[in-house]
Structure 1
Amino acid sequence: MKKEKFFGYVGWVGMCTSVLMYVFYFPQIQDNLNGNKGSFIQPFMAGINCTLWVCYGLFKEKRDLPLVLANSPGVIFGFFAAFTAL
């Protein structure tokens, strides 16, 4: 297998695992809404981090859509998990 093809696969697997990592905030959000409050700062910082990466991917000269797609759930679920923890 050529290096380019291998790294293409690694990139897509990385994108999928990144999306899953942020989607798995859902149980913390459910716990927060049920009164079992979790941490505010970790998901809040994840939301900031993902916002920066989404902006970077969208506004650089050659858009990086896999980067944007990998971090978009982190913006939504990170901030939602943080604010439900308050």
Structure 2
Amino acid sequence: MNQKVFKILGWVATCTAMLMYISYFPQIMNNLHGNKSGFLQPMVAAINCILWVCYGVFQEKRDWPIIIANTPGIIFGALAAITAL
């Protein structure tokens, strides 16, 4: 795979990962309205995203697609887990 295609693939994957974590928003809203859901899955997702962001940040050359893709997972995963309690 040439470098240009590989870079495009990375950014497309970044966008889809962000959408996956932003999709927690309806769950957060339901939790806030009293329709509680499980907290375990979003909590584990937030922890996973923290680890990936650390991985991306501490690379010799920062891996921005990984950092950007997983930052919403920290925020929305944590919010979904907290509001489910």
**Please, what TM-score do these two structures have when normalized by structure 1?**
0.94
Confirm whether residue 80 of structure 1 aligns to residue 79 of structure 2.
yes
Q: Which runs of 5+ in 2 are unaligned?
A: none
List aligned pairs for 1:29-44, cutoff 5 A: 29-44=28-43
Match of 1:8 in 2: 7
Moved over 3 A (4+): none
Q: Which runs of 5+ in 1 are unaligned?
A: none
Match of 1:68 in 2: 67
Q: CA offsets per residue over residues 17-48 of structure 1, 9 Å max, x none?
A: 00010011000000000000111000000000
Aligned residues: 85
Q: Matched residue of 2:50: which SS?
A: helix
CA distance in 1, matches of 2:82, 2:63: 29
Question: How big is the alpha-carbon RMSD for the aligned residues of Structure 1 and Structure 2?
Answer: 1.0
Identity of aligned residues (%): 60
Match of 1:55 in 2: 54
